[in-house]
């Protein structure tokens, strides 16, 4: 036992003890006034504290489609190592941050419910969870500290709080609320803080009143019974963070929000209207000084909504048999679109609509960001036992985005091209202004479509299926996604099901093009061979542009520049006959500019030329490798060796494993075989 104690103590450093003491600071009222004087931020309102918490993690300014945007680092979930990171929603999160900032400055939005509105699975709950976690962590930091108080009474006065010697303030109130209004302004001015609004809750107000009577109005002696304590917000301990979820109407009433009478204490205090016989443990009371989250807020019974109206506009709640009680908390609710439509249609809910700031939280419409959702949970470092073949997650993300996009109006664009434009890819004839206009046209884009949850479920199904022993590939996942459409509870029409199914075909075709290109690059990844083709091409281009002859390395004879060789490379990147002279001069000028800077030309630095050389080498080597023989059972040893080299390149350079590399080679081989059959 003793050894265990020593071992435990060895883990607890002096630093840990200092941190514990810091988090559990206690002092007198005068000590607290000194703390406030040195650091006025400790008396911030809940909205001010929340905004400062978000800003404390920093932000990044950037431009997307000519629009200035802000990325708040807080929403990357630095609190939990990215577990609840929000991807691709910078614009809605900017709107949210602006509402919180406006409320912090007292511009009116502090009197509103913040309503996160969007389709299922669009991260509304995650945003609320992040805010709650962030406030918990922030309240433990020096920058985010806040304080409350307890009543400590001697034996002769213990009857005031029911025979106990200590009574914690039941709503974790700001200690400066103990100062009566007639002197509060003066004290706040002296210590350099804005006027503290609001009164004590009924329980502390009652104790304060009895002590003032006992000490005949001597405020100094009354606050002598007050001990100030550091307040740490905690959802699990129900301190400063509350969550309210609608349940069965028969088993729920509004006292869950405002607290209820403690019937056991009525006998002790003689009345059910004595504040000491009341439990201030309703969710509004618990969340005072912090934040309350209303899950599916619009499913609340009307009785709850009346409490909500006062809590937002007047920052007051009405506990049973007591006067209105001041609260200071951020009220965040979230709801889906179906519930919101009911609210809009219900004329009796006008008061709530008027007190609501709606922030749309749509699905992501940018492929790069959607991909991050799945890569966080499904990657080859995290998944054990099954390999996820390259592009598997990409294709699922691509399909999910396509289901959310609206058909472009007034532009000859396919939905897939629109997706690529949104993702920052460049397409001939389309600019950033086009993207801006496309987004403006589709105001509701992202409010409908497939939820990330559906895709996550299908990735999970694919990982545990018996279709493959060691890996899953895009076709397995796309088939799983398609099969699931038959029983998808949110697909309400055959027309919608057919549309989603057709979009899967577009994704399959795109995947076909991607892997064909990938296998081509793996076949033509022989850098020595590319370098030789490049040197040959450059020699001929130099001779052509300078009207010289080229020495044939084999015959030793001077010959004209090899026009057929040059065109066979240039045609791979669609350089027309009429533009060949310009392209060749560009290449020579580029090489000349590098030489002036003392640098040597490398084909890898010229993306277009690099691609052309790879395609040329692939064309030259395709027939020697005879990839199409893979679809037959007879492959000669020499061809097999070449195929094995390509397979190893796919594994090393592109992230395949043995099984998925074989699968993709077989698939691409079947494509070439189909092409050869068509030509014949």
Is residue 420 in a domain?
yes
Q: Which of 224-238, 339-353, 557-571 has the lowest mean pLDDT?
A: 339-353
Question: pLDDT over 90 for what percent of the chain?
Answer: 50
Q: Residue 423: what are its φ and ψ, rounded to 5°?
A: -85, 5
Sign of CA dihedral 633, 638, 639, 641: positive
Is residue 47 in a domain?
no
Instruction: Give the Cβ contact number of residue 397 at 10 Å.
Output: 24
> How buried is 7 (Cβ within 10 angstroms: 0-12 exposed, 13-18 middle, 19+ buried)?
exposed
Is residue 442 in a domain?
yes
pLDDT at 677: 43
Residues 6+ apart with CB under 8 A from 556: none
Give the separation between CA 422 and CA 202, rounded to whole angstroms: 56
CB 103 within 8 A of CB 109: yes
Range of the domain at 396: 367-522
pLDDT at 675: 56
pLDDT in tens, 97-153: 999 999 999 999 999 999 999 999 999 999 999 999 999 999 999 999 999 999 999
Is residue 440 in a domain?
yes
What is residue 194's DSSP assignment? P
pLDDT in tens, 589-646: 888 888 888 888 887 777 778 878 877 877 776 655 555 555 455 556 777 777 888 8
Is residue 168 in a domain?
no
Give the separation between CA 389 and CA 227, rounded to whole angstroms: 62
Return the C-alpha torsion angle 208, 204, 260, 155, nearest 10. Answer: -70
pLDDT at 633: 54
pLDDT at 383: 82
Higher confidence at residue 237 or residue 676? 237
| Two structure tokens written together for 114 | 């913040």
Q: Which of 64-78, 151-165, 330-344, 602-616 has the lowest mean pLDDT?
A: 602-616
Is residue 383 in a domain?
yes
Which band of pLDDT confidence, cut at 50, 70 and 90, is reported for residue 679? Answer: very low
pLDDT at 449 over 90: yes
Which band of pLDDT confidence, cut at 50, 70 and 90, is reported for residue 678? Answer: very low
CB 580 within 8 A of CB 563: no
Most confident of 342-351, 407-416, 453-462, 633-642: 453-462
Give the separation between CA 465 and CA 552, rounded to whole angstroms: 59
Sign of CA dihedral 455, 458, 463, 464: positive
pLDDT at 525: 66
Is residue 475 in a domain?
yes
pLDDT in tens, 492-533: 889 999 999 999 999 999 999 899 888 877 877 677 778 888
Q: Which residue has the tokens 């061979």?
A: 529
Over range 278-298, report the average pLDDT: 93
Residues 6+ apart with CB under 8 A from 521: 614, 618
pLDDT at 5: 63
Is residue 486 in a domain?
yes
Q: Which of 338-352, 567-581, 651-665 has the lowest mean pLDDT?
A: 338-352
pLDDT at 378 over 80: yes
pLDDT at 680 over 50: no
Give the separation between CA 201 and CA 167, rounded to whole angstroms: 13
Over range 346-359, report the average pLDDT: 83
Domain count, the chain: 1
Give the separation between CA 47 and CA 173, rounded to whole angstroms: 15
In 9-106, beta strands by DSSP E:
26-27, 59-64, 67-72
Q: What is the mean pLDDT of the chain?
A: 87
pLDDT in tens, 17-47: 788 888 999 999 999 999 999 999 999 999 9
pLDDT at 555 over 70: no
pLDDT at 346: 76
Higher confidence at residue 250 or residue 423? 423
pLDDT at 636: 67
């Amino acid at each position: 036992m003793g050894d265990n104690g020593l071992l435990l103590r060895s883990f607890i450093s002096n630093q840990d003890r200092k941190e514990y003491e810091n988090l559990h600071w206690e002092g007198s009222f005068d000590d607290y006034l000194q703390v406030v004087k040195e650091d006025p931020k400790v008396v911030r309102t809940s909205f001010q504290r929340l905004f400062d918490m978000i800003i404390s993690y920093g932000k990044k300014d950037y431009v997307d489609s000519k629009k200035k945007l802000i990325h708040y680092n807080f929403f990357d979930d630095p609190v939990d190592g990215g577990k609840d990171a929000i991807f691709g929603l910078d614009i809605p999160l900017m709107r949210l941050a602006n509402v919180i900032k406006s409320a912090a400055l007292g511009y009116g939005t502090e009197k509103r419910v913040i309503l996160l509105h969007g389709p299922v699975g669009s991260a509304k709950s995650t945003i609320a969870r992040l805010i709650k976690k962030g406030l918990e962590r922030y309240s433990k930091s020096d920058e985010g500290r806040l304080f409350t108080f307890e009543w400590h009474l001697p034996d002769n006065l213990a009857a005031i709080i029911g025979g106990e010697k200590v009574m914690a303030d039941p709503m974790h109130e700001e200690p400066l609320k103990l100062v009566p209004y007639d002197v509060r302004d003066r004290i706040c001015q002296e210590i350099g803080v804005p006027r503290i609004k609001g009164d004590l809750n009924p329980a502390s107000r009652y104790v304060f009143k009895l002590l003032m009577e006992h000490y005949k109005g001597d405020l100094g002696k009354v606050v002598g019974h007050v001990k100030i304590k550091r307040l740490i917000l905690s959802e699990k301990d129900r301190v400063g963070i509350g969550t309210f979820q609608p349940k069965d109407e028969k088993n729920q009433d509004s006292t869950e929000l405002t607290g209820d009478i403690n019937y056991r204490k009525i006998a002790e205090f003689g009345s059910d209207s004595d504040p000491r016989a009341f439990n201030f443990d309703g969710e509004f009371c618990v969340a005072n000084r912090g934040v309350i989250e209303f899950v599916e807020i619009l499913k609340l019974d009307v009785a709850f909504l009346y409490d909500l109206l006062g809590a937002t506009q007047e920052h007051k709640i009405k506990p049973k048999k007591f006067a209105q009680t001041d609260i200071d908390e951020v009220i965040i609710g979230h709801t889906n679109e179906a519930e919101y439509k009911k609210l809009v249609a219900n004329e009796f809910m006008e008061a709530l609509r008027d007190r609501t700031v709606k922030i749309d939280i749509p699905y992501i419409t940018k492929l790069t960001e959607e991909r991050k959702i799945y890569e966080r949970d499904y990657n080859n470092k995290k998944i054990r036992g099954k390999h996820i073949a390259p592009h598997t997650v990409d294709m699922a993300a691509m399909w999910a985005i396509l289901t959310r996009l609206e058909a472009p109006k007034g532009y000859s664009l396919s939905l897939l091209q629109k997706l690529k434009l949104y993702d920052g890819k460049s397409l001939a004839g389309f600019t950033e202004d086009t993207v801006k206009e496309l987004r403006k046209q589709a105001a509701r884009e992202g409010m409908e479509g497939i939820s990330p949850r559906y895709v996550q479920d299908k990735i999970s199904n694919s990982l545990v299926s018996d279709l493959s022993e060691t890996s899953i590939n895009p076709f397995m996942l796309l088939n799983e996604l398609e099969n699931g459409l038959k029983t998808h509870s949110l697909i309400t029409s055959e027309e919608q099901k057919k549309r989603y199914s057709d979009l899967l075909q577009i994704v399959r075709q795109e995947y076909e093009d991607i892997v064909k290109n990938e296998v081509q690059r793996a076949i033509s990844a022989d850098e020595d061979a590319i370098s030789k083709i490049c040197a040959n091409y450059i020699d001929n281009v130099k001779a052509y542009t300078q009207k010289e002859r080229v020495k044939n390395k084999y015959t030793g004879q001077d010959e004209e520049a090899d026009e057929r060789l040059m065109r066979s490379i240039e045609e791979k990147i669609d350089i027309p006959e009429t533009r060949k002279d310009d392209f060749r001069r560009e290449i020579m000028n580029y090489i000349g500019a590098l030489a002036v800077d003392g640098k040597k030309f490398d084909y890898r630095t010229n993306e277009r030329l690099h691609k052309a050389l790879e395609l040329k080498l692939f064309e030259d080597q395709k027939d020697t490798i005879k990839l199409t023989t893979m679809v037959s059972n007879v492959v000669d040893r020499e061809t097999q060796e070449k195929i094995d080299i390509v397979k190893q390149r796919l594994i090393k350079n592109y992230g395949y494993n043995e099984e998925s590399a074989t699968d993709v080679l077989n698939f691409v081989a079947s494509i070439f075989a189909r092409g050869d059959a068509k030509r014949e």
